[in-house]
Amino acid sequence: MASIQDKIVLITGASSGIGAACAKAFAQGKAKLILVARRLERLEELANELKHTTQVHCLSLDVCDRFSVESALKSLPESWTNVDILINNAGLSRGLDKLYEANIQDWEEMIDTNIKGLLYMTRFLVPGMVHRERGHIINIGSIAGHQTYPGGNVYCATKAAVRALSEGLKMDLLATPVRVTSVDPGMVETEFSQVRFHGDIERAKKVYQGITPLTAEDIADIVFFCASRPPHVNISELVVLTTDQS
Ligand code: NDP
């Protein structure tokens, strides 16, 4: 295992679910954390919890807004600018409707967050990694990028795009030591389903009935494992399912 102590790790979507669990896992490894999301109060709550273990910097930004991304990253204090590990985790699904009946605003939100958000973060942070000749981008994709399910249409398309972007970036970085990993989870119990159903908690709970879903910590363990391999080892893609999923 390679140490991640003192590495600067930027996690998008750190205010909840998988992103928050990654923050806790990387804090245990003594990495320095930049926590990113829109809900600053949630980030600060988590930062308070982790500050006894490691150094934490909170950054409130909307990954869909390239100007917000650019100005927030430019505002980072000097000692936080050399990001070693970027975890592109912010993402969401909206609705579970037939393509020809769905809410167009829902599509835009998924495309803007899951694809454009990941692209903006990557575009702003990877040049520094190439320049410093070290770095790791870990994209949180989904089983939805491999299998389309009924009503999943646009969400599945965005996660198929994440897969293609991970592959493309890997090719672009081939002659450099910068690594790219795609971690593609199956069903994980987080706030994801509540967001999908616009806060309908009862409908969200039904998604997990009769199965044992993955936990956010299960995925954070895997992400940490990928990040802590020796520098010449690149775990390219990992699909992580619950035993109830095929
Ligand atoms: P959560 O809803 O618990 O967390 C989503 C995170 O993304 C929140 O921290 C939210 O923060 C952040 N986020 C959403 N939109 C934006 C935005 N525009 N700008 C900045 N941050 C944003 O869901 P999960 O933890 O489950 O999801 C994390 C990732 O895992 C997503 O990419 C999801 O697609 C993927 N995934 C999830 C699965 C599951 O079953 N849960 C399965 C497979 C993949 P805030 O609202 O504060 O901005």
Beta-strand relationship, 32-37 and 237-240: unpaired
- Ligand 1 atom showing the smallest separation from residue 62 Cα: 19
The finding on whether 22 has its CB within 6 A of some atom of ligand 1 is no
Does residue 129 sit within a domain? yes
pLDDT at 245 over 90: no
Torsion of CA 66, 69, 72, 74, to 10 degrees: -80
pLDDT score of 108: 98
Does residue 88 sit within a domain? yes
pLDDT at 246 over 90: no
| % of the chain exceeding 70 in pLDDT | 100
Number of compact structural domains in the chain: 1
Does residue 229 sit within a domain? yes
pLDDT digit string, tens, across residues 100-124: 999 999 999 999 999 999 999 999 9
Owning domain of residue 200: 8-240
Is ipTM beyond 0.95?
yes
pLDDT at 92 over 90: yes
Q: What token pair was written down for 229?
A: 């391999």
Q: Which amino acid type is present at position 109?
A: E
| Mean pLDDT, range 23-45, rounded to an integer | 98
pLDDT score of 74: 96
Sequence-ordered list of residues with C-beta below 8 angstroms from that of 172, at least 6 positions apart, any chain: none
The finding on whether 214 has its CB within 6 A of some atom of ligand 1 is no
pLDDT at 47 over 90: yes
pLDDT at 240 over 90: yes
Does residue 162 sit within a domain? yes
Does residue 104 sit within a domain? yes
pTM higher than 0.95: yes
Residue 239 pLDDT class (50, 70, 90 cuts): very high
pLDDT score of 197: 95
The finding on whether 15 has its CB within 6 A of some atom of ligand 1 is yes
Closest residue by Cα to residue 169 from 101, 229, 112, 237: 237
Backbone angles phi, psi at 218, to 5 degrees: -55, -45
pLDDT digit string, tens, across residues 130-169: 999 999 999 999 999 999 999 999 999 999 999 999 999 9
Q: How far is CA 127 from CA 72, 132, 232, in A?
A: 17, 9, 20
- Ligand 1 atom showing the smallest separation from residue 185 Cα: 43
Does residue 246 sit within a domain? no
pLDDT digit string, tens, across residues 178-220: 999 999 999 999 999 999 999 999 999 999 999 999 999 999 9
**CATH number, position 141:** 3.40.50.720
Q: Nearest 5°: CA angle at 178, between 172 and 184? A: 80
Q: What token pair was written down for 218?
A: 């299960």
> Is 100 a residue of the active site?
no
Spatial separation of the C-alpha atoms in residues 198 and 235, rounded to whole Å: 35
Q: Nearest 5°: CA angle at 158, between 180 and 172? A: 30
| % of the chain exceeding 90 in pLDDT | 99
Does residue 107 sit within a domain? yes
Does residue 2 sit within a domain? no
Residues in the chain: 246
